[in-house]
Amino acid sequence: MTAVARESALIDQFDATRERTLELVRTLERDDFVVQTAPYMSPPKWHLGHVSWIYEAIMSKISPGYEFYSGDLAGYLNSYYQQFGSPMDKGRRGVVSRPTLEQIFDYFEETNRRVRGFIEGGLSPDNSRMITMGTHHECQHQELLIYDLQHLLASEYRPARRGTEPKPAGETGGTVRVKGGLYTLGYGGGGFCYDVELPEHRVYLEDYTIGAYPVTNGEYLLFMEDGGYGSYRHWLSDGWDRVKENGWNSPMYWEKEGDEWYTNGLAGRRKINPKEPVCHVSFYEADAYCRWAGKRLPTEAEWEKAALWNEEEQTKSVFPWGDGAPSEDRANLYESGLWKCTEAGSYPEGASPSGCHQMVGDAWEWTSSEFVGYPGFRSGFDEYNDKWFTGQKVLRGGSYATPSMAIRGTYRNFFRLDERWMFCGFRCAGDAPA
Amino acid sequence: MTAVARESALIDQFDATRERTLELVRTLERDDFVVQTAPYMSPPKWHLGHVSWIYEAIMSKISPGYEFYSGDLAGYLNSYYQQFGSPMDKGRRGVVSRPTLEQIFDYFEETNRRVRGFIEGGLSPDNSRMITMGTHHECQHQELLIYDLQHLLASEYRPARRGTEPKPAGETGGTVRVKGGLYTLGYGGGGFCYDVELPEHRVYLEDYTIGAYPVTNGEYLLFMEDGGYGSYRHWLSDGWDRVKENGWNSPMYWEKEGDEWYTNGLAGRRKINPKEPVCHVSFYEADAYCRWAGKRLPTEAEWEKAALWNEEEQTKSVFPWGDGAPSEDRANLYESGLWKCTEAGSYPEGASPSGCHQMVGDAWEWTSSEFVGYPGFRSGFDEYNDKWFTGQKVLRGGSYATPSMAIRGTYRNFFRLDERWMFCGFRCAGDAPA
Amino acid sequence: MTAVARESALIDQFDATRERTLELVRTLERDDFVVQTAPYMSPPKWHLGHVSWIYEAIMSKISPGYEFYSGDLAGYLNSYYQQFGSPMDKGRRGVVSRPTLEQIFDYFEETNRRVRGFIEGGLSPDNSRMITMGTHHECQHQELLIYDLQHLLASEYRPARRGTEPKPAGETGGTVRVKGGLYTLGYGGGGFCYDVELPEHRVYLEDYTIGAYPVTNGEYLLFMEDGGYGSYRHWLSDGWDRVKENGWNSPMYWEKEGDEWYTNGLAGRRKINPKEPVCHVSFYEADAYCRWAGKRLPTEAEWEKAALWNEEEQTKSVFPWGDGAPSEDRANLYESGLWKCTEAGSYPEGASPSGCHQMVGDAWEWTSSEFVGYPGFRSGFDEYNDKWFTGQKVLRGGSYATPSMAIRGTYRNFFRLDERWMFCGFRCAGDAPA
Amino acid sequence: MTAVARESALIDQFDATRERTLELVRTLERDDFVVQTAPYMSPPKWHLGHVSWIYEAIMSKISPGYEFYSGDLAGYLNSYYQQFGSPMDKGRRGVVSRPTLEQIFDYFEETNRRVRGFIEGGLSPDNSRMITMGTHHECQHQELLIYDLQHLLASEYRPARRGTEPKPAGETGGTVRVKGGLYTLGYGGGGFCYDVELPEHRVYLEDYTIGAYPVTNGEYLLFMEDGGYGSYRHWLSDGWDRVKENGWNSPMYWEKEGDEWYTNGLAGRRKINPKEPVCHVSFYEADAYCRWAGKRLPTEAEWEKAALWNEEEQTKSVFPWGDGAPSEDRANLYESGLWKCTEAGSYPEGASPSGCHQMVGDAWEWTSSEFVGYPGFRSGFDEYNDKWFTGQKVLRGGSYATPSMAIRGTYRNFFRLDERWMFCGFRCAGDAPA
């Protein structure tokens, strides 16, 4: 690709990303932008500013003399990068009335102008990759923004549902068997990926089984009805402590009314659909379910091999269905009354060669693997993903809130073990002695 | 007064009160209305709704079948009245994005219409007094709103000061001697007062001395420079614990820059004026200063007698300067760049017969008296002031943020002993053995 | 009294006090001395050391060159006197294994030798009064020790009861009327009293009524059965918060078994006796009961006048029954299996002139008065009672755990409003308009 | 081995284990047994009871009708086994005065009688292995007891040091290179091991380097002097939070006096010896040091291969120096004045085939591996080690407080990432690309 073509493609990608961010907040009320409803979520106003500020941080790394738009903004919009000064305590993002939303929108637009100018001024491939990373960072926050809007709007205000019903999911259940041996884990393609997906490296796997589908609401209800939340036997000690501390007795956002379970989501309040993948469960709950079911969670290597490896052809693809990117963004399909969102439902592109369905596009799937660097890991950006190499588990796949541009089979998402406000489910695995 | 005249006067008072509330928020930014910067303050949006809701609560007491504008609003706008359902946790007022500000303004207007209609429908003197109490309640919140705006704007954003300098205060220092004996404490006039100002009753006082002026910044600085915050000897045990817990080393809003102390207030950041009354000190600090100075705080009876009693004529007035109400509201005098406010400076109406100055109109003054009911107290409104008859001290006088309509020499304000975000100072007293 | 007689009397009093302390712990198990079962109680070992250390503190004030037995001990045994160095955090007294109990007993004996030598060396009346205060301080801790043993033993281990049943109380109920006017509050005798009982001073009282007996278990049960703990209407706001926080639904140490209420006390577990004064209620509960009953708590002046004033003869006595000290210590009467203690039951010396019974010797009685200095108060000992002049209420009377030597009608005990592990009850009062 | 020989050997091992427990507390003061100086430690009295109770728990699993010595004791002595009822909150073990120490010693002896009788009654190999596990459990608590005594005695009371100086360590520094490929991880011998050391399974390793010696105090001081605790760059995000929260600026038990660092340990207070392995550092500190040094922590597979694998002979031994057990217990060598303990210093049996020294017998070594089950893990005892498969890191090796009987090269110890009161250090590793 020529430099000019590369710049043009980058500007297109940048513009599309920025536009999608604005699209997500287009129907919000003015007050919705300001408040923070939980320490782990951020006000929409903050997301708008932060995704802009990151481009400034990147430009300042590339171009040492770079002058920031506003020093005051940085303290507010910096999430955790100590190199850019002392960030504000995350829990206080909702007590900030200045900068106002209008000032944040001005900043958003000004950043657009600057980034475009920066690209048009000519960029080395390395610097081009840095700006690309800024757009992928923005994709991450688009997804977080959707989680946060669900927390803010769906759980607090429970809008009456509008729009069409989600189409019932198809088949569920079943297990596939995967052969072990040496497998090469990590990203090996030529496109963009994060540093934590590298380097490719060999791991040895025993033979194993893995669910052909994610665990569904219906299956999870059996666990609940069998007293799953009431018996310590299914739980890790830390998990059992959380159950009691937090009074967990169902996935997050679920409520019982009479004999019926409901969930409050972006599409409003609706009855639990037993065929949909279970969502909004913590690692501890996923783990307890597996133990109850006589199974275990897969490691991330087991998950990835089941998703991407074609045993017959001895090849590895980028997605379960092949190398072609998803054809559309799932989070913009219909009008819920609050903003555009989609029903749950995997990318329709199909099952993996080993026969696993719905691996990408419904809910992220917990694995048993701790989020640490791969052997030989080299940090690609100062103070980014590798600051979090303790206390978190890897999730694989992608949810219906993940922008299609940000999806890859080797993507390693990570959250703390008790978090469940993101769109997260799981599938079971098991040992398969010969 | 005829019923018609009474109604007309009440509507005038109501309209003036409502207008003053709106005036206080007229120059705020949109985002300012929504956030909560400390657990003890409330978002301006909430104040607007709450002062309206109280009229509905009153109308529902008067008129049993009264239908509230909105059941949902009540949960949010109820401060602590259990009889109207379970109020929202105060600390969560800043995580509410719906009702939106527009809805609150609609509610404000609708309440205006309803209250006016209610008054015009004819009211007994008792019910008229209930509505009057609603306007006085709104006055209380106008003052709280100013405290909260200071917390939100002045301490967070430190606006550059605009407008004229406060005029330097005049004389300070000096002590007057007051003769003891039986004194009749409490409100004895014919106008409006709160139930906690009643009944008038006799108390026996020894002879005492009391400061002719409130303690000034300059005097308080001497205490600070003498190591007042560093020596346990001046402090009550609870106070000393607070000093260490909170790291107090000056009044709230003060900051040292080089050798100079500054304060961040409604008029922006400015140098401490040594002639102004010290403000934003807790009860513990006032008490410690007095002990350091070889004095003590006055009781509320001592304060009131020094303010209102004319020994020569054996008469008691409503204000230190006589019975005439203050001629203007102090909190609306000049434009600070954020909104209208005034410099410190007492109501110019003059000193008390015993020779005490600046008793009303600068800062509330801490007394040593616990806030409890007077002997023979009868509650005038269910679940109002008398719910708070423990753990609080009485403050007397009135600050420059107090609406003139709400000022009286017998007014008993009350706060917890460690609070200091309100406009509060003190004057010293002493024993005066014959 | 000659100096020699005064010394001899002081040594007798000292020896008797020390002996009583040892008597209280004679039947404890070795491990009982070491543990701390609540932040507000102290290990018995600590009490033994602390009451000894105070004599050293006193001797060091009297005799400037005094050398302490051990510098290390002081840090552990100092309760809150900043002048003697930084005291250990009270909540950590139970994590101390050295000094061992044997070392504490050695210290106890060594202190005895030193104090006796000090007295025999000759003392001025002032210094004699200081040592006397040490013995009264020890009396205070004897009572606290009994509270703490109740917490440690009775609540944790619920010993089977031994010894005789408490004799049923006699009459209960009824109200007496007391005439108001000027009353002289405080201690006016020639014996020992604390600084906070001084100076005598005039207060003006309206006519009032006061209960002829303390509120009984039986009366309090009516409040409980009427839903007293479940309705906010009876409670001050701070009190209602405590009810919910702490899940209070009965006095401390009560437990329901089937339909029957039991209490766990020094005499083991036994059924609630409806005729005994209610005990182990906080100020908030006492206040709520009164409001429920259409009454209020008495002020401390009202309590004292009802206890000590003879209207007919216009005289004031030291005790309700006259000037003669109680004839015995109540807390040493029988063997409970754990240690000697008594059943509830007032000093039998009789009712007050106004007709009030059981004012001294059953349970301390809450008053509505804040614990502050009397007008003209002068501190008699550096950093003693007057450090606590905020956040506490006065209790009057005396419990069956109070040493007889330490009882006086003018004694002002004080505790925080939510404390209830001490032996505390109350009686009601009311207004009595002519 | 015949059944009789097996029983006799088991009784010998049991008796020796019990005797060693008593030996560890022989010189304690009476009060030392009772107190709890941190939430993570337990009173010695509790350890004595708990290690006895576990044998009862085991006997009850083997022999269903087994009657426990005392139901009351179980609630106190159960650590975390939900199947035996609700265990007491760990943080409250220090507020228990009954059972007394004497009762615990009686229980200890009675348990001895019962276990011996149980063994003599005849045991299947499986049940014999269960009792053996009880002795290994007791070994774990012997080590914990030493940690706890260090916390209680050395840090609180700082005894003057007695006994001989530790011999200075020999060489330090240097790195060895280990060849990668498939390695078989886990215990493959015929003796006792825990379920978490099984099953043996293959892992793929890249080539790597590993320190020939643990990191020493002298090396760690270089990190400290280079501002290691002051720069976020070396730390994981969670670790940096802990540094700031806890104010860490050195290993635990270190104190600076003038220019010199001291440590308070079982041998009293002494100067830091720069040649000894650094001890009492958390995972976060170990990780930060490695990053500062351009290294990383080894995985547990890397550690084990470097310790046990002989590349030349293609064999794996039980210990670094071969298959022979250590010749003595390290924790009983000399009299410190408090009880017997040893200086730091590895088991003298020698280096591993790959050239690594001091891998067993000084301090446990942090690895980067999360404590989770090996592939194919099967739980060997209900609610034991596998309850803790989250939030902990594996430590390998063994400290000088580890009983020799409990040492194995495949032993997987585990602690939370911020714990440092145990005897824990680390060695560095690195990638070694061909």
Q: What is the mean pLDDT of chain C?
A: 88
CB contact under 8 A, D82 and A232: yes
Residues 6+ apart with CB under 8 A from D304: D183, D185, D396, D409, D410
Percentage of chain D lying above the pLDDT 70 cut: 90
Of C29, C97, C157, which is closest to D31 when you measure between CB atoms?
Answer: C97
Cα(first)–Cα(last) distance of chain B, in Å?
49
In C, what residues contact B, Cβ < 8 A? 80, 82, 182, 201-206, 232-233, 236-240, 283-284, 287, 368, 370, 372, 375-376, 387-391, 417, 431, 433
Question: Residue C337 — very low, low, confident or very high, per pLDDT cuts 50/70/90?
Answer: very low
Least confident of A346-360, B24-38, C56-70: A346-360
Question: Residue A399 — very low, low, confident or very high, per pLDDT cuts 50/70/90?
Answer: confident
3-class secondary-structure state, position D262? strand
Of B202, B232, B391, which is closest to C391 when you measure between CB atoms?
Answer: B391
CB contact under 8 A, C156 and D37: no
What sign does the dihedral B125-B128-B133-B139 (CA atoms) show? negative
C376 vs chain B: nearest CA distance in angstroms?
6
CA–CA distance, C22 with C112 (Å, rounded to integer): 12
- Best interface-test mutation with A: which of B31, B150, B339 has the largest number of A CBs within 10 A? B31
C23 vs chain D: nearest CA distance in angstroms?
20
- Best interface-test mutation with B: which of A97, A101, A148, A158 has the largest number of B CBs within 10 A? A97
Nearest to B346 by CA among B400, B303, B301, B385: B400
Cβ A31 vs Cβ B34: under 8 Å: yes
CB contact under 8 A, A388 and D232: no
Write down the pLDDT at residue D32.
93
CB contact under 8 A, A29 and B94: no
Write down the pLDDT at residue C157.
60
Domain ranges across chain B? 3-157, 175-216+280-431
Cβ A297 vs Cβ D389: under 8 Å: no
Decide: D and B in contact? Rule: 3+ Cβ pairs under 8 Å.
no
B12 vs chain A: nearest CA distance in angstroms?
33
Find the closest chain B residue to C203 by CA distance. B204
Write down the pLDDT at residue B330.
54
3-class secondary-structure state, position D231? coil
CA–CA distance, A152 with C398 (Å, rounded to integer): 56
CA–CA distance, C210 with D123 (Å, rounded to integer): 76
Residues 6+ apart with CB under 8 A from C213: C171, C172, C173, C174, C277, C356, C357, C358, C427
Q: What is the CATH number of domain D175-216+279-431?
A: 3.90.1580.10
* Helix residue spans in C150-216 (DSSP H): 155-157
Decide: D and C in contact? Rule: 3+ Cβ pairs under 8 Å.
yes
Least confident of A213-217, A335-339, D201-205: A335-339
* Neighbour tally for B401: CB within 10 Å: 25
CB contact under 8 A, A204 and D203: yes
CA–CA distance, C224 with C242 (Å, rounded to integer): 16
Of D206, D240, D387, which is closest to A376 when you measure between CB atoms?
Answer: D206
Mean pLDDT over residues B8-24, rounded?
93
Instruction: Show residues of chain B in contact with C389, CB under 8 Å.
Output: 236
Count of alpha carbons within 13 angstroms of residue D316, beta-carbon side: 15
D24 vs chain C: nearest CA distance in angstroms?
17
CB-defined contacts B:C, below 8 A: 67
B neighbours by CB contacts (3+ pairs under 8 Å): A, C
Find the closest chain A residue to B99 by CA distance. A31
Question: Residue A194 — very low, low, confident or very high, per pLDDT cuts 50/70/90?
Answer: very high
Question: Residue C330 — very low, low, confident or very high, per pLDDT cuts 50/70/90?
Answer: low
pTM for the model stands at: 0.90
C neighbours by CB contacts (3+ pairs under 8 Å): B, D
- Asked if pLDDT for residue C156 goes beyond 80, the answer is no
Question: Residue B338 — very low, low, confident or very high, per pLDDT cuts 50/70/90?
Answer: very low
Question: Residue C230 — very low, low, confident or very high, per pLDDT cuts 50/70/90?
Answer: very high
C243 vs chain D: nearest CA distance in angstroms?
24
CB contact under 8 A, A236 and D390: yes
- Asked if pLDDT for residue B325 goes beyond 50, the answer is yes
CB contact under 8 A, C35 and D95: yes
C203 vs chain B: nearest CA distance in angstroms?
5
3-class secondary-structure state, position B250? coil
∠D296-D300-D301 over CA atoms, to 5°?
105
pLDDT tens for D317-339 read: 999 999 988 776 654 433 333 33
Cβ C133 vs Cβ C14: under 8 Å: no
Find the closest chain B residue to A101 by CA distance. B31
Find the closest chain D residue to A86 by CA distance. D232
Count of alpha carbons within 13 angstroms of residue A163, beta-carbon side: 22
pLDDT tens for A277-333 read: 899 999 999 999 999 999 999 999 999 999 999 999 999 999 999 998 877 665 443
Cβ A277 vs Cβ A362: under 8 Å: yes
∠B38-B41-B42 over CA atoms, to 5°?
115
A neighbours by CB contacts (3+ pairs under 8 Å): B, D
Instruction: Show residues of chain D in contact with C94, CB under 8 Å.
Output: 35, 94-95
Question: Residue A344 — very low, low, confident or very high, per pLDDT cuts 50/70/90?
Answer: very low
CB contact under 8 A, A431 and D375: yes
Q: What is the mean pLDDT of chain B?
A: 88
Write down the pLDDT at residue B85.
79
CA–CA distance, A291 with A430 (Å, rounded to integer): 10
CB contact under 8 A, A31 and B94: no
- Best interface-test mutation with A: which of D84, D296, D390, D417 has the largest number of A CBs within 10 A? D390
Decide: C and B in contact? Rule: 3+ Cβ pairs under 8 Å.
yes
CB contact under 8 A, B31 and A97: yes
CA–CA distance, B16 with A326 (Å, rounded to integer): 63
Instruction: Show residues of chain C in contact with D156, CB under 8 Å.
Output: 96-98
Find the closest chain B residue to A151 by CA distance. B95
In A, what residues contact B, Cβ < 8 A? 29-32, 34-37, 45, 94-98, 100-102, 152, 156-157
Of D236, D375, D376, which is closest to A389 when you measure between CB atoms?
Answer: D236
Cβ A251 vs Cβ A278: under 8 Å: yes
B344 vs chain C: nearest CA distance in angstroms?
30
Percentage of chain A lying above the pLDDT 90 cut: 66
CB contact under 8 A, C100 and D31: yes
B97 vs chain A: nearest CA distance in angstroms?
5
A103 vs chain D: nearest CA distance in angstroms?
31
pLDDT tens for B344-400 read: 345 556 789 999 998 988 889 999 999 999 999 999 877 788 999 999 999 999 988
D neighbours by CB contacts (3+ pairs under 8 Å): A, C
Write down the pLDDT at residue A414.
97
Question: Residue D190 — very low, low, confident or very high, per pLDDT cuts 50/70/90?
Answer: confident
Write down the pLDDT at residue B329.
61
pLDDT tens for C27-86 read: 788 999 999 999 999 999 999 999 999 999 999 999 989 999 988 888 889 887 878 877
Least confident of B65-69, C265-269, D178-182: C265-269
Q: What is the CATH number of domain C175-216+280-431?
A: 3.90.1580.10
The verdict on domain A3-157 having CATH code 1.20.120.450 is yes
Mean pLDDT over residues D355-381, rounded?
92
Question: Residue D373 — very low, low, confident or very high, per pLDDT cuts 50/70/90?
Answer: very high
Find the closest chain D residue to C42 by CA distance. D95
CB contact under 8 A, B431 and C376: yes
